[in-house]
Amino acid sequence: MDTPHSMSTETLSKLRSDALSLPDAERAELAHALITSLDAPADSDARDAWEQEIVRRLAEIEAGTAKLIDRAEFHRRMQARIGWS
């Protein structure tokens, strides 16, 4: 027996089929809404801390004190860090 928040396999299959037939932009919007619905509530302290970090890093870049690397070097470092060749 279905609970109030469950649906039959047939209903889910139809919903999935309908969703996959949507245009790309609408599928992306639906996917975003579904993924967002799974996230925990926003942590305002974390958001504030990240905003402060972004402002700090931008100030370093604008002041010329940040050590910047190009995309190729970043890619090489990330591959090395995760063990990819």
Could you list the pLDDT tens digit for every one of the 85 residues in the chain? 445 567 899 999 999 999 999 999 999 999 999 998 998 888 889 999 999 999 999 999 999 999 999 999 999 999 999 988 6
CA distance 77 to 85: 11
Q: What is the pTM of this model?
A: 0.45
Residue with tokens 């870049």: 61
Q: Where are the domains of the chain?
A: 9-38, 44-82
**Helix, strand, coil percentages in the chain from 3-state DSSP, rounded to 5:** 70, 0, 30
